[in-house]
Amino acid sequence: MVEASAPEELSLAIHGIEVYCQRQGQGEPLLVLHDEDGASLWRPFYAQLARRFDVRVPDHPGFGRSGQPEWLERVQDLVYHYLDLLDMLGLERVHLVGQSFGGWLAAALAVGHPERVRKLVLIAPAGLKRQDVEVPDLFVMSPEQWAQAMFHDERLVAELGAQRPSREQLERQLRDRATLARLAWNPYLHDPQLPHWLHRARVPTLLVWGQEDRFLPLAVSETWQQHLPRARLAVMDRAGHLPQVEQAEATARLVTEFLEEG
């Protein structure tokens, strides 16, 4: 994978919570909500987007390098947190990109506060349940099983599955998993109420899905389209659950073209 240039690293204080945030680029503001395993990472995908946009990638509270608030109990709490973050940064409206768990969060923010979102990009979002699809249990996966569920490229699967995290990395992963469980364990990775309210996300929306997604299969995109009939679907070849990682340049180009359309 291509090395990404280093972003600016920021520490933001938002109502008593220290939030770690990375920033790069100029142009219209673009807020990225990371996936369940993406905290504190600066991916080549973000660097590509930063060529045209002012990209900000914060760690969710309880994830990565951000603080762990006592009040964090549900996805809606994160929605209010990000409204506070936008207010603090003086950003009235932003392009919003959400990935997997972050896609669920981005959709929930757009449902409740569409006036804050210019355009919405959801990359293989969690949040909706399809009865005929069984989603693998993240909380019991070994590193090898996680890699197999997330990626299509067998070389990347072998490389990531063979990695052994440091003690610090393992502690952070466990903390991230604990926060995810607090927010999305029961019901598992979806909100039964979300389908009833998605029609309120009245913003131009792009759904991006990997053709070979083994974690949230492409069939799940049909459920999203049922509730977001105006959303456009783009399917990435040779990509699993994280097309922004496996096909970073192509995914960034697709997202940039969508966001820059008149």
What's the pLDDT tens digit per position in 47-69?
999 999 999 999 999 999 999 99
Query: Residue 3 has what pLDDT?
Result: 47
> Are 147 and 236 in contact, with CB atoms under 8 Å apart?
no
Query: Residue 160 has what pLDDT?
Result: 85
> Are 97 and 30 in contact, with CB atoms under 8 Å apart?
yes
| 105 vs 226: CA distance, rounded Å | 19
Which long-range contacts does 148-151 make (Cβ < 8 Å, 24+ apart)? 148/214, 149/214, 149/215, 149/240, 149/241, 150/37, 150/214, 150/215, 150/240, 150/241, 150/242, 151/240, 151/241, 151/242, 151/245, 151/246
- The CA-atom distances, in angstroms, between 30 and each of 77, 118, 155, 156, 250 are 21, 9, 32, 28, 18
Identify the three-state secondary structure at position 254. helix
Q: pLDDT tens, 60-115?
A: 999 999 999 999 999 999 999 999 999 999 999 999 999 999 999 999 999 999 99
Query: Residue 262 has what pLDDT?
Result: 80
- Mean residue pLDDT of the chain comes to 95
Query: Residue 5 has what pLDDT?
Result: 67
Helix residue ranges per DSSP H, the chain? 44-49, 75-89, 101-112, 143-150, 154-162, 167-184, 194-197, 219-227, 243-246, 248-260
Domains of the chain: 8-260 (3.40.50.1820)
Name the CA dihedral angle for 164, 169, 170, 172, rounded to a multiple of 10 degrees: -160
Query: Residue 145 has what pLDDT?
Result: 93
Looking at the DSSP bridge assignments, the partners of residue 8 are 23
Query: Residue 2 has what pLDDT?
Result: 41
CB atoms within 10 A of CB 229: 9
- Name the pairing type of β-strands 117-123 and 232-236: unpaired
User: Which residues of the chain fall below pLDDT 70?
Assistant: 1-5
